[in-house]
Structure 1
Amino acid sequence: MKVVASSATGVSGSGDIVVVEVKLIGKPGSSTSLKIKDLKLNDEAGKLVEASSQDGSIKVSGIIPEVVVKASNVFMFIGQNGTSEITLSIAPTGLSGYEMEVTFIPQLSIPSITVPSPFEEAFKKLKPIPGEDVIDIIKVELPEWAGLSDSSIKDDKVWFKVVDIYDKVRMGDKDIPLAKILVKGKAGGVVRIEVNVIRMDDDNGARISPETPLAFIIVVPIIRPPPIAQNLPPPMDLNNDGLFEDVNGNGRLDFDDVVKLFKHFGEPAVSEYAKFYDFNGNGRLDFNDIVTLFKKL
Structure 2
Amino acid sequence: MVKLAHFLELIAVFFFISIFSTPALALSQPVLFFSPDLVESNTGDNVQVHLLMDGASRGLSGYGLIISLDTPDIVDIIGIDLPKWTGLQDIEKQSDSSYLIQGVDSNDNQHPGAPKIDLATVKVHAKAPGYATIRATPVMIDDDQKGRYETSPVAMTIVITGAGPVPLVPMST
Q: Confirm whether residue 135 of structure 1 aligns to residue 100 of structure 2.
A: no
Q: Contact 1:140–1:181 at 8 Å: present in 2 too? A: yes
Secondary structure of 1:214's counterpart equals strand
The structure showing larger relative contact order (alpha-carbon pairs under 8 Å, at least 6 residues apart) is 2
**Structure 2: gaps spanning 5 or more residues:** 1-19, 165-173
- Assess if the C-alpha contact under 8 Å between 1:147 and 1:163 holds in 2: yes
Partner residue in 2 for 1:96: 61
Residues 91, 171 of structure 1: 8 Å contact kept: yes
Q: Name the CA distance, whole Å, in 2 between partners of 1:219 and 1:202.
A: 37
Deviations 1:72-109 (A, max 9, x none): 33321111010121110121000000001011002xxx
Aligned residues: 140
Q: How does 1:1-297 map to 2 (within 5 A)?
A: 62=24, 64-72=27-35, 73-106=38-71, 133-153=73-93, 154-221=95-162
- Percentage identity across paired residues of the two chains: 29
Contact 2:59 2:143 in 1 (8 A): yes
What letter corresponds to residue 163 of structure 1 in structure 2?
A: V
Q: Distance in 2 between matches of 1:74 and 1:65?
A: 30
Q: Look up the equivalent residue of 1:144 and give its one-letter code.
A: K
* 1:77–1:222 CA contact under 8 A, matched in 2: no
1:137 maps to amino acid: I
Q: Give 5+ residue unaligned stretches, structure 1.
A: 1-28, 31-61, 107-131, 224-297
With the length of structure 2 as denominator, give the TM-score of the two structures: 0.74
1:100 and 1:161 in contact (8 A); partners too: yes
2:142 partner letter? D
Q: Secondary structure at the match of 1:174?
A: coil
User: Residue type matched to 2:92 in 1?
Assistant: S
What is the distance in 1 between the residues matched to 2:110 and 2:47? 27
Q: Which amino acid aligns with 1:220?
A: T
Alignment TM-score, normalising by the size of structure 1: 0.44
On the 8 A contact 2:28/2:56 being kept in 1, the answer is: no
Amino acid at match of 1:208: Y
Larger Rg: 1
TM-superposed CA distance for 1:211, in Å, is 2.4
How far is the alpha carbon of 1:212 from its aligned partner?
2.4
Indicate if the aligned counterparts of 1:75 and 1:82 stay in contact, CA closer than 8 A.
no
Preserved CA contact (<8 Å) 1:77 1:185: yes
- Secondary structure of the residue aligned to 1:91 is coil
Q: Which runs of 4+ in 1 moved over 4 A?
A: none
Deviations 1:2-22 (A, max 9, x none): xxxxxxxxxxxxxxxxxxxxx
